[in-house]
Chains A and B, each alone.
Chain A
Amino acid sequence: MEAGKRMEKVLEKSLNQKVKRRSFLKVFAAAAATSVVPVKEATAFSFSKYFQKHYKEMTEADKKKVFARITKEAKEKYNTSINISEPQAITGVKYAYCLNLKACNGSRMCVTACAEENNIDPDIGSYIKVLEMPIGTSNTERGDLFYDEHNLPKDGKYYLPTQCNQCDNAPCTKVCPVEATWKEKDGLVVIDYDWCIGCRYCQAACPYEARHFNFKEPKIDKSKLNTQQSYLSNRVRSKGVMEKCTFCLHRSREGQYPACLEACPTGARKFGNILDPKSEVAQIFKHKRVFVLKEELNTMPQFFYYFD
């Protein structure tokens, strides 16, 4: 490691900038490591994943094989048995999410719950970001992600949680070069993680910072692993692919509320089938004045905000 530190200092001086320690040391360390016995932690390389079909083209037999592979990989990596499901879209259902901005107090309990429910790598953190907004604007660029955690809610501020809006006219599904992401019949925008090539064009196209990329192999705490997984939502991803909020597809398609809604301490979140006039979300449309973010982009989000 000494040689590495010295080389780093030399490069820093000549490049006149701080060398990114992690990447440089890794380069050096890996050079040493490659000549030694392979580390046990090395990710199991599975060939079959690379020959797999697109999810929409898989037969039942294909799916069985794929789910068996995923279950086996999970067993090897986490020494736990997981369940891989693929709940189908329910006919006559189109999901909508409504968020009461008067009720949200910036607690970030939704952020934490999402991270645990969806087996998200800590570097990505969560699919939800809560912004502290000054009263008088709905421009998220003026929001503060790093707000002080104490004495919430603060005067003169309101709190705006953002996540994937499952847009009806999604820019992300439009730009994906391999159709690895698409909009399902019930409105959810999903990703086939094994088909995604990791070009990140969808991340550039999304106006809401809703898409996240795995820059490295996800490291999930074994004890925190959520074993109830589904192919299109919360199964553990691999490095180099995109992921995002799916309104907890593995829960919502089984009639349950997303994890963020259940965690919210103030009941600010409402979720359901917008086509059902008796649902909470349809009633919110009837009685409240809802709006969406960046409406002028015509993305037609299915995540609605309102003040009570």
Chain B
Amino acid sequence: MIVEALTGSKVYFLWLGFLTILFLLGVFAYYQQLKFGLEVTNLSQIVSWGAYIANFTFLVGVAAAAVLMVVPAYVFKIPEVKEIVIIAEIMAFVALILCLMFIVVDLGDPLKSWHLIPYIGKLNFPQSVLAWDVIILNGYLLLNAHVPGYVLYQMYLGNEPKKKYYYPFVFLSIFWAISIHTVTAFLYSGLGGKPFWNSAILAPRFLISAFSAGPALLILVFYTINKVRYHFKVKVKVFKILKSIAAIAFPINLFLVFCEVFKEFYTDSAHVASARYLFTGLHGHNILVPYIWFAIIAQIFVITVFWVPKLRDNSKFLLPACVVGFIGIWIEKGMGLIIPGFLPSPHGIIVDYTPSITEIFVCLGIWSFGALLFTMMAKVAIEILNGKLRVK
């Protein structure tokens, strides 16, 4: 299997090489952070969570979105989806690894991470939602390591995977996927001191935006697989299902954003300050305004593409729509959620936060590690799925 991961065409190696370089730059940048502390980022006492936690939050959604393939495959037993559901599960696995990496790079003292292990450390379960998140994310990681791992390995050995060893875990993972993103949303929505986040609608917003960005990414991944693997095709039915989900999820997402915007601006209480900072700028600070409006307009564009049959079946529109939709959700849920939560501070202070160069390189390093891991794992998985890779 390792040989399979490390052999391929010139393009494959160029892609892996590019990702490896980015990853190594990320490692170097993180080393600076370990050495000097988080002062190498642009985080401050006012905006104490930034790019790392924004990426973490977004990636939990990507991981949860694997359920959108698992349900058609195992509950509705659609054969075209069943063929490729493993790839979605691998994507979830990789996304979770990236989530854990983003958490580790955000910690002030990562060598003390063992304090989070129950019994060995002192995990504040069940009072701290972050403690719940630690357990739930790692549980989902194990689920998404076991199911594709077991199935692929059995197929690699030439055996039929035994249902009793993975079916229960598949059904568990359906509920678990919903809970990982709900718990991550609860991290924010349970904080009374941050009125921008302290909203019941946050958990539904998280799930719907995950179900928007997830299909967009899956469409792009499956399209790429169809382009580069001649003897393995993701069937049209899969794309149809993903497009249908995205065509419903994006509008619901915009609707929920609108609900939030209405409540903020119509009530016009003192708590509207953070929403004002995000959508209109506040007291001369307006760096996030173009980004959030781009995200909104991007989603309107995406909805148009997914609702017009001529457009959604035309890859010239579909693919840019998926890219733009993915980025739009990233902005709205990542930077567009985390940063305004802190601003203005309880003492009315507003600072401008954009990630520093070091932060950007660490983030790029982690994303490229994910792309690297996913590329190699997906390649191996595809070769096993199409019967080409078997134990000698």
Q: Which residues of A contact B (CB under 8 A)?
A: 11, 17, 19-20, 22-24, 26-27, 30-31, 50, 54, 57, 123-124, 129, 131, 139-145, 162, 171, 174-180, 195-201, 203-209, 212-217, 238-242, 294, 297-299
Contact = CB atoms under 8 A, between A and B. Distances in A.
Nearest to B124: A179
B193 A175 contact: no
A197 B357 contact: no
A116 to B, nearest CB: 19
Interface in B80-110: 103, 106-110
Nearest to B360: A15
A297 B193 contact: yes
B122 A140 contact: no
Contacts of A141: 270, 273, 344-348
Given A123-B39, A178-B123, A204-B191, 14 more contacts: A23-B39, A24-B357, A141-B345, A176-B128, A178-B122, A179-B122, A196-B108, A197-B113, A199-B103, A215-B41, A215-B44, A216-B38, A239-B38, A239-B109
Contact of A297 (B28, B41, B124, B192): B192
A155 to B, nearest CB: 21
A175 B319 CA distance: 41
Contacts of A203: 45, 48
Nearest to B341: A204
B347 A177 contact: no
Given A197-B116, A204-B191, A215-B38, A240 B344 contact: no
B154 interface: no
Count chain A CB atoms within 10 A of each CB in B42, B45, B346 and give the residue with the most.
Answer: B346
Contacts of A208: 193, 346
Contacts of A123: 39
Given A139-B270, A140-B346, A141-B273, A198 B134 contact: no
B24 to A, nearest CB: 13
Nearest to A182: B124
B226 interface: no
B348 A140 contact: yes
Contacts of A57: 122
A23 B190 CA distance: 33
A177 B124 CA distance: 5
B45 A209 contact: yes
Contacts of B40: 22-23, 26-27
Nearest to A131: B347
A240 B37 contact: yes
7 pairs of A and B residues whose beta carbons are closest in the complex: A198-B108, A240-B108, A207-B193, A239-B37, A240-B109, A177-B130, A215-B39
5 contacts: A123-B39, A171-B193, A177-B124, A207-B194, A213-B48
A175 B128 CA distance: 4
B140 to A, nearest CB: 17
Contacts of B112: 50, 178, 195-198
A18 to B, nearest CB: 9
A23 B357 contact: yes
B65 to A, nearest CB: 25
Contacts of B341: 204
A104 to B, nearest CB: 16
Interface of B: 28-29, 32, 35-46, 48-49, 103, 106-113, 115-116, 121-124, 127-131, 134, 187, 190-194, 270, 273, 341-342, 344-349, 354, 356-359
Contact of B108 (A17, A204, A213): A213
Contacts of B124: 176-179
A206 B113 CA distance: 22
A298 B198 CA distance: 14
A113 B129 CA distance: 36
Contacts of B32: 23, 26-27, 30
A30 B348 contact: no
Contacts of A240: 37-38, 107-109
B273 A178 contact: no
A293 to B, nearest CB: 8
B139 to A, nearest CB: 16
Contacts of A17: 354
B192 A171 contact: yes
Contacts of A179: 122, 124
Given A141-B270, A203-B48, A129 B121 contact: no
Contacts of A239: 36-38, 108-109
A143 B48 contact: no
A199 B130 contact: yes
B63 to A, nearest CB: 20
Contacts of A178: 112, 115-116, 121-124
Contact of B48 (A23, A50, A176, A200): A200
Contacts of B191: 171, 175, 204-205
A27 B358 contact: yes
Nearest to B344: A141
Count chain B CB atoms within 10 A of each CB in A19, A31, A177, A180 and give the residue with the most.
Answer: A177
B43 A215 contact: yes
B37 A214 contact: yes
A81 B94 CA distance: 50
Given A174-B128, A195-B112, A197-B108, A20 B356 contact: yes
Count chain B CB atoms within 10 A of each CB in A19, A139, A198, A299 and give the residue with the most.
Answer: A198
A238 B123 CA distance: 22
Contacts of B35: 30
Contact of A214 (B108, B347, B357): B108
Given A17-B354, A23-B40, A177 B131 contact: yes
A141 B344 CA distance: 7
A241 B357 CA distance: 23
Contacts of A215: 37-39, 41, 43-44
Contacts of B130: 175-177, 199, 201
Contacts of B122: 54, 57, 178-179, 195
Contacts of B113: 197
B108 A162 contact: no
Contacts of B129: 175
A243 to B, nearest CB: 11
Nearest to B42: A20
B48 A216 contact: no
Given A141-B347, A178-B121, A196 B192 contact: no
